[in-house]
């Protein structure tokens, strides 16, 4: 038996170019879920801010006339949401989710076939941004957990 053929040497990854499939999958799916959670929050905020207090009051009083006394409170809450201050905060939180999702996805992609010892760096980045994503909704919480698991798996690889 001789050594490996030229095609076997070409096709087999060297020690520095080993593919890390499991951390890649966890980080990628976690990042996608975090990104989808941020996009969902952005769409929910824009939908809520487009609803007027009068339509809410009309729907409530049509279904239950006894709730008509809540009209003032509903108008106050609607004015507060549409005033811009609360909407801006919610938009910022949703943007954090989108940014964290993109970073976790990119960390997973970059850790798939890293050069040198970059797997540990990308794993740490994925863990940090997965934890930060809880400020949004953490990718329905599942995305954050998958990102952390993927980062931990990446740190455990040699």
Q: How far apart (Å, rounded) are the C-alpha atoms in residues 61 and 69?
A: 9
**Which residue stretches of the chain have pLDDT < 50?**
1, 7, 9-12, 15-16
Q: In a 10 Å sphere around its CB, with 0-12 CB exposed, 13-18 middle and 19+ buried, how is residue 17 labelled?
A: exposed
pTM of the model: 0.74
pLDDT digits (tens, 9 = 90+) for 67-107: 777 777 777 777 776 667 777 888 888 899 999 999 999 99
pLDDT at 7: 45
pLDDT at 4: 60
Instruction: Report how far Cα 22 is from the mean position of its chain's Cα atoms.
Output: 19
pLDDT at 10: 41
pLDDT at 114: 76
Whose CA is closest to 25, among 126, 137, 94, 135?
Answer: 126
The tokens describing 116, both together, are: 């040198």
User: Tokens 């507060």 identify what position?
Assistant: 80
The tokens describing 11, both together, are: 């096709």
Whose CA is closest to 122, among 152, 83, 81?
Answer: 152
Instruction: Report how far Cα 145 is from the mean position of its chain's Cα atoms.
Output: 11
Q: In a 10 Å sphere around its CB, with 0-12 CB exposed, 13-18 middle and 19+ buried, how is residue 24 labelled?
A: buried
pLDDT at 17: 55
């Amino acid at each position: 038996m001789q050594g490996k053929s030229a095609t076997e040497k070409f096709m087999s990854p060297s020690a520095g170019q080993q593919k890390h499939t499991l951390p890649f999958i966890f980080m990628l799916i976690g990042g996608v879920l975090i990104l989808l959670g941020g996009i969902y929050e952005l769409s929910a905020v824009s939908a809520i801010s487009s609803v007027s207090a009068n339509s809410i009051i009309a729907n409530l009083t049509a279904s239950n006339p006894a709730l008509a006394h809540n009209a003032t409170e509903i108008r106050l809450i609607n004015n507060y949401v549409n005033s811009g201050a609360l909407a801006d905060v919610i938009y910022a939180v949703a943007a954090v989710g989108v940014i964290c999702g993109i970073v976790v996805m990119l960390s997973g992609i970059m850790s798939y076939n890293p050069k040198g010892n970059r797997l540990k760096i990308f794993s740490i980045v994925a863990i940090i941004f997965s934890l930060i994503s809880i400020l949004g909704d953490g990718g329905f919480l599942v995305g954050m957990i998958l990102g952390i698991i993927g980062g931990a798996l990446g740190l455990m690889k040699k």
